[in-house]
Amino acid sequence: MEIIQIVGLGLIATVLILIIKEQKPMFAFLLAAFTGILIFLFLVGKIASVIEVLENLAQRSGVNMIFLKTILKIIGIAYIAEFGAQIVRDAGQESVASKIELAGKILIMVMAIPIITVIIETVVKLIPG
């Protein structure tokens, strides 16, 4: 049933935005942004359950919890960056959107830097001389 709620919300928001866009483009943008945030908040509970399952799996199989935390952080960065970039793109600021996406990519790579360091160190130590 939730999918119907979300789709209904999206349809109503779209109609409203189309109506309001002629008179007040500013409000149309705000409406779009808030609709997006609302849908996202709808999904937060579901994402939490998925993450719980993943954590359970990782704990049971002995995956390092630092790994899991880093992975979840990467996912969060990806979601937020995508969300922000799309809203900005909707507002017509393509260049700002691409900058947000770039920031998201770089932050993801920063998250992976410790792992890269460890791997490189290991390989260097393994090679004699």
Partner 1 sequence: MDWLSGWLKTVVALILLATFIELMLPTSKMQRYVRTAMSLFILLTLLSPVLEITRKGWDPGKLLAAAQLEQNQQGLRAAGAGGSSGLKSVSPPAEPASLEAVLQQSDRLKAENQRQAQRLLEEDLAAGMKQELQQQTVYPIRELRVTTELGGKANPSVTRVQIVLDEPDSPAGSPSPSSGGSGTAAADAGGNGAGSTGAGDLPQTGPIAQIEPVAPVARVEISTEPIGGTASGGPADPAEASAAAGRLTAAQQEASARLVKAIQLGWQVDPTHISVQWTKERTKL
Judged by the rule CB under 8 A, the positions of this chain that interact with partner 1 are 47, 50, 54, 57-58, 60-64, 67-68, 70-71, 74-75, 78-79, 81-83, 101, 104-105, 108-109, 111-112, 115-116, 118-119, 121-122, 125-126
Please report how close the Cβ of residue 98 comes to partner 1 at its closest, in angstroms: 10
Coil, strand or helix: which one is 1? coil
Distance between CA atoms of residues 5 and 80, nearest Å: 23
Q: CB 48 → partner 1: shortest distance, Å?
A: 12
Q: Identify the three-state secondary structure at position 62.
A: coil
How near is the Cβ of 121 to partner 1 at its closest, in Å?
8
State how far Cα 43 lies from the chain centre: 12
Q: How far is CA 76 from the centre of its chain?
A: 5
